[in-house]
């Protein structure tokens, strides 16, 4: 059993803290992977100071050379893909196929960001003045804090760390406390790829102590956060008061809209994948199905049948379709929301309880749950549950569907199922989400495509793709006057 260590200034250092937590397999609580010592404020401060000292040398390293290190990390992720997937499944609980998919996404992101090292370009701009050259350059910010969640504990850190490093920043990586094993392996891979001491630092600790110290340290010039709205908004309030740059990717309450002409086979399977895949623990998970009344009975019957057929169990079993909630707190939260749905008057169609059966008694398993006749004012229609719970809201027509789908504080992802081109493009125009899908699940994305939401979901620049480096760089405008004499007149 491991005791996980911090990585500060190029060295693996065991925390002096006496506060510890066990890293437990959520599919089998008898399986303890290791122990986390919760880093102290002094240790978090040391990590920031190491990053600040390393920044100048890393910034001076040519961008293509920085990119080569990230490219080597991508190759190491590829070589260690199966080992990492097994750790991820054991630590977080997702199925082995989902873990392999997450690792592949991480590899793709690292490869893409490595290539961006040769495209850290600005633009030349025609000046209105004679003999004047105007252009822009992108420069690194300084020390960047990457604060990441437990639900994608490899992919999300990689899609923050890789562009931050390519841009020339030094990084302090603060992962979720309940997924330390994957965080350690990520850091080891970047270390093996050749990251210089202090350029990447890992701090394993609580948000209230280590995290608070990091985000409030004056040397931290930018914070990239993924997690809940409550934490993200507090972080934004704290960091913005001292002028730090902040990027927050937060909650989702993502709708699928099923129209009367939808291919029901595709709509049902896509909705089930989106709602119950990863046990509903994705920010892009499908949590609302907005369904035309004409086809609602059929849709509900079929999606409930699919939910009841899902094979629940430990993710290491290749046949498992849905694993557990990540820990006891999340497990209790999901069951609590199921109780709220019942109390508010929604019709429980299937699920609604802890999953039982062989091999499930020592894990945090919840049966895939479908509620029908949910109304937009119910809490299960408005609040992020982060579990395998689908709420079906019935609507009378397309305009009503758009109204109900948009009646939400979040704006991350959405889907529509129809064969009507006119309504597809109206939906794309009018849906209030940062990403939308046509005849496919709300989940998923590609490494070279921007990722993020609007409304209550997102603050700051988008992540990944063509926007990946925007948050991690400052834009500088340069004017070069080559007249060789003093300018006359008003120069604004």
**Which one, of 183, 196, 186, 202, lies nearest residue 80 by Cα?**
186
* Residue of 113, 283, 350, 408 with catalytic role: 283
Please confirm, yes or no, whether 113 is among the known catalytic residues.
no
The residue written with tokens 């397999």 in the block is: 25
Q: CB under 8 Å to 22, separation ≥6 — which residues?
A: 32, 34, 35, 36
In CATH terms, the superfamily for domain 2-250+457-477 is Aldehyde Dehydrogenase; Chain A, domain 1 (3.40.605.10)
Q: What is the pLDDT along the chain (492 residues), one digit of tens a residue?
A: 689 999 999 999 999 999 999 999 999 999 999 999 999 999 999 999 999 999 999 999 999 999 999 999 999 999 999 999 999 999 999 999 999 999 999 999 999 999 999 999 999 999 999 999 999 999 999 999 999 999 999 999 999 999 999 999 999 999 999 999 999 999 999 999 999 999 999 999 999 999 999 999 999 999 999 999 999 999 999 999 999 999 999 999 999 999 999 999 999 999 999 999 999 999 999 999 999 999 999 999 999 999 999 999 999 999 999 999 999 999 999 999 999 999 999 999 999 999 998 889 999 999 999 999 999 999 999 999 999 999 999 999 999 999 999 999 999 999 999 999 999 999 999 999 999 999 999 998 899 999 999 999 999 999 999 999 999 999 999 999 999 998 776 655
Give the relative orientation of helices 155-167 and 63-79 as an angle to the nearest 10 degrees.
Answer: 160
Between CA 247 and CA 232 the distance in angstroms is 9
The pTM assigned to this predicted structure is 0.96
Between CA 77 and CA 28 the distance in angstroms is 27
- Topology of the domain covering 254-438: Aldehyde Dehydrogenase; Chain A, domain 2 (3.40.309)
| Bridge partner residues of 2 (DSSP) | 34
- C-alpha 192 chain-centroid distance: 25
Q: Where are the domains of the chain?
A: 2-250+457-477, 254-438
């Amino acid at each position: 059993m491991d005791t996980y260590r911090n990585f500060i200034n190029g060295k693996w250092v065991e925390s002096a803290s006496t506060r510890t937590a066990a890293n437990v397999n959520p599919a089998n609580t008898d399986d303890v992977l290791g122990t986390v010592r919760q880093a102290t404020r002094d240790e978090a401060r040391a990590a920031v100071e190491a990053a600040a000292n390393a920044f100048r040398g890393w910034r001076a390293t040519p961008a293509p050379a920085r990119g080569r290190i990230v490219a080597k990390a991508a190759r190491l992720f590829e070589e260690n893909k199966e080992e990492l997937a097994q750790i991820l499944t054991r630590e977080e609980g997702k199925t082995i196929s989902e873990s392999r998919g997450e690792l592949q996404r991480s590899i793709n992101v690292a490869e893409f960001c490595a290539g961006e090292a040769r495209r850290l370009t600005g633009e030349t701009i025609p000046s209105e003045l004679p003999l004047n050259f105007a252009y822009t350059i992108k420069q690194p910010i300084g020390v960047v804090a990457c604060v990441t969640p437990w639900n994608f504990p490899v992919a999300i850190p990689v899609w923050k760390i890789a562009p931050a490093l390519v841009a020339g920043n030094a990084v302090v990586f603060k992962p979720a406390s309940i997924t330390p094993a994957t965080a350690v392996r990520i850091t080891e891979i970047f270390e093996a790829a050749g990251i210089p001491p202090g350029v990447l630092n890992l701090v394993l600790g609580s948000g209230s102590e280590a995290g608070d110290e990091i985000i409030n340290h004056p040397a931290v010039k930018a914070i990239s956060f993924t997690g809940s709205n409550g934490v993200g908004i507090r972080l934004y309030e704290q960091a913005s008061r001292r002028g730090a740059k902040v990027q927050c990717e937060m909650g989702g309450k993502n709708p699928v809209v099923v129209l009367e002409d939808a291919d029901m086979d595709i709509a049902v399977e896509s909705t089930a994948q989106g709602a119950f895949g990863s046990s509903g623990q994705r920010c892009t998970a499908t949590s609302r199905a907005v369904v035309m009344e004409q086809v609602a009975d059929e849709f509900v019957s079929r999606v409930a049948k699919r939910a009841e057929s899902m094979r629940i169990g430990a993710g290491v079993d290749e046949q498992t379709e849905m694993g557990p909630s990540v820990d006891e707190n999340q497990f209790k939260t999901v069951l609590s929301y199921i109780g709220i749905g019942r109390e508010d008057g929604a019709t429980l169609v299937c699920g609604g309880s802890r999953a039982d059966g062989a091999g499930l008694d020592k894990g945090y398993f919840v049966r895939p749950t479908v509620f029908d006749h949910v109304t937009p004012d119910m809490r299960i229609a408005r609040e992020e549950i982060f579990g395998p719970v689908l709420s079906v809201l019935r609507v009378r027509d397309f305009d009503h569907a758009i109204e109900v789908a948009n009646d939400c504080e979040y704006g991350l992802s959405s889907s529509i199922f129809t064969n009507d081109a006119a309504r597809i493009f109206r939906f794309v125009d009018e849906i209030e989400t940062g990403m939308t899908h046509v005849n496919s699940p709300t989940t998923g994305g590609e490494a070279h495509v921007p990722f993020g939401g609007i409304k209550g979901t997102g603050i700051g620049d988008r992540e990944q793709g063509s926007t990946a480096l925007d948050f991690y760089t400052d834009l500088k405008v340069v004017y070069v006057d080559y007249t060789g004499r003093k300018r006359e007149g008003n120069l604004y």
